[in-house]
Structure 1
Amino acid sequence: MACILGVSAYYHDSAACLVRDGEIVAAAQEERFTRKKHDPGFPHRAIDYCLREGGIRFGDITHLVFYDKPLVKFERLLETYLAFAPAGLQSFLAAMPVWMKEKLLLKTLLRDEFLKHGEGMAKSDLPQLLFSEHHESHAASAFFASPYDSAVVLCMDGVGEWATTSAWQGQGNTLTPLWEIPFPHSLGLLYSAFTYYTGFKVNSGEYKVMGLAPYGEPKYVKAIYEHLIDVKPDGTFRLNMEYFNYCTGLTMTSRKFDHVFGGPPRTPEAKLGQREMDLARSVQEVTEEVMLRLARTLHRETGVENLCLAGGVALNCVGNGRILREGPHKGLWIQPAAGDAGGALGAALSVWHQFEGKPRVSDGKRDKMKGTYLGPAFTNAEIEEFLRAKDAPYIRLDDAALAEQVAKDLAAEKVVGWLQGRMEFGPRSLGGRSILGDARSTKMQSVMNLKIKYRESFRPFAPSVLRERVADYFDLHSDSPYMLIVAPVNEKRRCPKTIAQKDLWGIDLLNVQRSDIPSVTHLDYSARVQTVHEETNPRYHSLLKAFEAQTGYAVLVNTSFNVRGEPIVHTPEDAYRCFMRTEMDVLVLENCVLYKTDQKPLEGDSDWKNEFELD
């Protein structure tokens, strides 16, 4: 029996994954355990969980694998500083002590960290430690976990060792590199530069830029093409580094960037203006165009009909939706943990299929991710023990009664915290750790943003819809189980604009009702769709069925179970604390239901702002 432990760490979103004889047994991000969002530290807790879930000890592991090659990354760092010298001395002096102390000795450091799980093992007893390339880990996470026997893979992110964009061809159990675009020319870093410039946090706030884009006009697209990026017809590109500062400085953009776009970056938490909305719309359009051109080029060059995506840019679900609708590929599959966390998974799968040469079986329909429900679960007995210790009033219902009652609460416009089954792997809540609401409500988006999530009012919410009903609501005729595709809301469900509404623009459009499912319909009549499948999440599927039976609608609002700056909840205790700190009405922990009106105030510090750094 081969037990492969994959790890990603030391940049952001560290994670661990256990693959046993080719099966993905468990995977989780360290942030869910430490409660530190995007935690980059060595994933000790995630490893402990993977071992528990697999029912094995560390000594049973046959291969250890790290998701990138630090020495190659160090080579890129040195060459970059030399290329831009003498600029960047401050950044160089800040980075070098860390690299000299830790990163160059990473193999030794990793062995020391792994040994903490080894129950008295000597270093010589450790399993073989392997290193995968960063983009190879991304590509493996996309192709080997996909339902396809043959596919091309497009990886797009900030930067790995050298590659920022890479193309691969997958066939059976092999991945062959086709071409790559090297640092510093990066679509991910271009998007991150605008994330920084519009006042959001890099490697965290990119999805805010995507959500802000529909409020703006593409006023700066021409300026981006003229000054920042040269895009060829095949989608390959080069950035003009005079406008960026990430190679030599401690910021993303330069003063020349400020000059082109009318001033300095927005101060974080300052009021959003029309400029920020227009900038978001402009960089989003450029990003989508590059993504679409690259996808078309891959199809033209290879003739392969299936496309897989990974890397942080693959979380741009608006761009993914355009590839699905306008691209030439017949099949599209996106790794749900597309960022660095998924590198742990890809590295482990790469060892099984490429290093060990083991075959893989694909039916063209079902992927290997198990709905991405790969994290910890909790029993009703564990939950009731916790609730009794908290002296928290609750009722316990069987499955059928639970679905009926929660559907009734949702139909009454109550906001429900929902923890059931195994925790999701990746950045999306998919019905395992979710906050739910009624998509028909005209006030739900505002209530959830301002009173539950405590975040910016413009932020959109996603719909969960029964897979068998998706075409009744959205112009989408394929699976979207991982909430990674934006699709148009059906024409028949849209509300035409009044004459008065046509004169509105920007944030004033927020409260205009656009469809009969207004809480999940964005300004451009689109929605980030999650299709819910009975075989991967039967309880969530049954809740949607019960809601449809009561209301005639098979759609719910689904957002991640957390407040702003907090990782998605992991345990019943995390969920209870978040429930009590917000204006959620109902909390469902497996078969246990709690109502806010029955609860006593939370003891001690009840202000989440003292605990979590705003993202």
Structure 2
Amino acid sequence: MRDGRIVAAAQEERFSRIKHDAGFPESAIRYCLDAAKLSPGDLDHVVFYEKPIRKFDRLMESFLATAPRSLRPFTTAMPSWIKGKLNLRKTLRRRLDQVAGDGRRYVGKMHFVDHHLAHAASAAWTCPWPNAAVLVCDAVGEWATTSLGWSDGQQIQLTHQLRYPHSLGLLYSAFTYFCGFTVNSGEYKLMGLAAYGTPKYAQAIESELLNVASDGSFRLNQEFFGFVESLKMTNQRFADVFDQTPRRADEPITDFHRDLAASIQKVTEDILLRTANHLHRLHAADALCIAGGVALNGKANGRLLVETPFQHLHVPPAPGDAGGAVGAALLIDRAVLDDAAVEGQAVSQYSMQNACLGPVYDSQQSSQELRQIGANFRSLTDEALIDEVARRLADGQVVGWMDGPMEFGPRAVGRRSILADPRGDDVRDRMNQAIKFREPFRPFAPVVLAERVTKYFQVSGDFESPWMSFIVPVKAAAEIAPAIIHADGTARVQTLTRDQNPKLYHLIQQFDRMTGCPMLVNTSFNVKDEPIVASPVDAYRCFQKSGMDCCVIQNHLLDKRESC
């Protein structure tokens, strides 16, 4: 951040090409410094998005409370804490010095902020409505798992909290594990699978596994879970409730797994609705800001939008831990601005209208990289490119689309996307099987011209979803685009205005003129188990090994038949 403006943000996985890379984010730091034309020695503050000592206290207290059963997770976790996490201040300074390259070391302050407060700032201080209620919900921060509070645009107060081990995020992850998906990355698969089942186990979950109050607070019955005392999310008692064993990743998905997914999805939505309604009673406001990993549950967000007293719901583009880094920076920057305000400088909301904060490769850089790897391509003007790509899409081709700065957050919203015609009945199956190489039950999202969204989706006239934050019901008119309709008659909508992405907007306009359909299928430019592409080389390699027909990289068009 510089002078109250977010200059750059990116995740390490995009550079390392390791999905959910948990290593030190050296490449991401290097990119952010290069984008700002700075070295570490130029920085005034460096901030980390949680307090390691408090987190260590929680781990130690949990281990001691469940000893000797917790011996195995204790011996697994302690080496990494002793080697680095307890000395994170020294580690950060040392690694920053290594990034520098020019010998200018960082000598400023090193800050550590509360994890849920960082999440809260990422939502409340990027919200278009400065007076808002705040809800943070994730697996766990230091101790907090759900936090409620408010922001008036100048300060944030978290007034109520649930604490570990009573966690909605961990509850959802337990079912992610039991259904055979990977914890901390497969939760979106569980949400997609839920549309194919019925919530027949919801009552059993609420009566056996947890106790939920009318205000949304709850307690997990720890007899059924293993995450406190072992390396597994669930135990045999959990399996006995459903008379099933955990599914292995290579085993088939059955009606039981579909129904179990639908059940935990319903329980999660119902708890969040109770929590949000209670929050409105505590801190009445027109707007609700929500962050934390649970805020990536678009189905729950869609219900919060229409079934609570709040008129507006704001979800930042990266509500998970990546966005927590932004929130941490906002907290320190706001503190600096508050000091400056004494001298007459205004303090205002931070803008996240454009979440495209990652690397950008202009036409010349892209062509150089493509030539170096021997790719064949044609360079076109914007007008010619849009006309040809729209025609190819209308003819049923699937198009890789890399244009402008990379998006920040888990969603590709038109800068690193794969686009397709949503009108075909077979488009979803083809893209899952031959393009993305992923599970057949996974849905695809539409990107629709913002001024046309109410014709096709059951939303209000002021509905905005620039980062695909909401899953909403479709209207009958959306039958024109069967590829974007999920099994339960919903879609995870992205609205697009001309200002947000003029090139993609014009492409959809041209496609609409040709077909009468003002939307496209938009999915992230990657294949299963890989991060979204960052560079032209990444895009080319992904294009070559997938079933995409052609690929756009800035103003360069690559055809599968010609690019080998």
TM, length-normalised to structure 2: 0.97
Aligned to 1:37: 19
Unaligned 5+ segments in structure 1 are 1-18, 494-514, 601-615
Matched, 1:270 2:251: yes
Q: Using the alignment, how far apart are the partners of 2:94 and 2:124 within structure 1?
A: 32
Identity level (%): 48
CA contact (8 A) 1:151 1:306 kept: yes
Unaligned 5+ segments in structure 2 are none
Aligned to 2:93: 111
Q: Using the alignment, how far apart are the partners of 2:100 and 2:364 within structure 1?
A: 31
Q: Using the alignment, how far apart are the partners of 1:554 and 1:146 within structure 2?
A: 28
Aligned to 2:189: 208
Aligned to 1:396: 379
List per-residue Cα deviations over 1:312-362 (Å, max 9, x = no partner).
Answer: 000000000000011110111001101111111000001011355265325
Summarize the alignment of residues 474-485 of structure 1 with structure 2, pairs less than 5 Å apart: 474-477=457-460, 478-485=463-470
Matched, 1:282 2:263: yes
Match for 1:557 among 491, 515, 521? 521
List per-residue Cα deviations over 1:183-227 (Å, max 9, x = no partner).
Answer: 000000000000000000000000000000011111110110111
Q: Which amino acid aligns with 2:442?
A: R
Q: Using the alignment, how far apart are the partners of 1:145 and 1:132 within structure 2?
A: 18
Match for 1:406 among 352, 375, 389? 389
Q: Using the alignment, how far apart are the partners of 1:412 and 1:371 within structure 2?
A: 31
Q: How far off its partner does 1:387 sit?
A: 2.3
Q: Using the alignment, how far apart are the partners of 2:237 and 2:225 within structure 1?
A: 8
CA contact (8 A) 2:40 2:104 kept: no
Matched, 1:55 2:37: yes
Aligned to 2:556: 592
Q: Using the alignment, how far apart are the partners of 2:104 and 2:313 within structure 1?
A: 46
Summarize the alignment of residues 224-373 of structure 1 with structure 2, pairs less than 5 Å apart: 224-354=205-335, 356-357=337-338, 359-362=346-349, 368-373=351-356
Aligned to 2:74: 92
Q: Which amino acid aligns with 1:228?
A: L
Summarize the alignment of residues 88-237 of structure 1 with structure 2, pairs less than 5 Å apart: 88-119=70-101, 121=103, 126-237=107-218
Aligned to 1:8: none
Count of residues paired in the alignment: 556
Aligned to 1:517: 481
Q: How far off its partner does 1:408 sit?
A: 0.5
Matched, 1:527 2:491: yes
Q: How far off its partner does 1:538 sit?
A: 1.0
Q: Which amino acid aligns with 1:217?
A: T
* Bigger mean CA deviation after superposition, 338-347 or 108-117: 108-117
Q: How far off its partner does 1:161 sit?
A: 0.2
TM, length-normalised to structure 1: 0.89
Q: Using the alignment, how far apart are the partners of 1:74 and 1:570 within structure 2?
A: 34
SS in 1 for 2:10: strand
Q: Which amino acid aligns with 1:517?
A: A
Q: How far off its partner does 1:579 sit?
A: 0.5
Q: How far off its partner does 1:439 sit?
A: 0.7
Aligned to 1:422: 405
List per-residue Cα deviations over 1:456-480 (Å, max 9, x = no partner).
Answer: 0010000000111111111123000
Q: Using the alignment, how far apart are the partners of 2:337 and 2:501 within structure 1?
A: 32
Match for 1:536 among 500, 505, 514? 500
Q: How far off its partner does 1:596 sit?
A: 0.5
Q: How far off its partner does 1:369 sit?
A: 1.4
Q: Using the alignment, how far apart are the partners of 2:508 and 2:62 within structure 1?
A: 52
Q: Cα distance 1:354–1:237, how it changes in 2: closer, same or farther (>3 A)?
A: farther
CA contact (8 A) 2:149 2:283 kept: no
Q: Which amino acid aligns with 2:327?
A: G
SS in 2 for 1:594: strand
Q: Which amino acid aligns with 1:426?
A: G
SS in 2 for 1:308: strand
CA contact (8 A) 2:450 2:464 kept: yes
Aligned to 2:535: 571
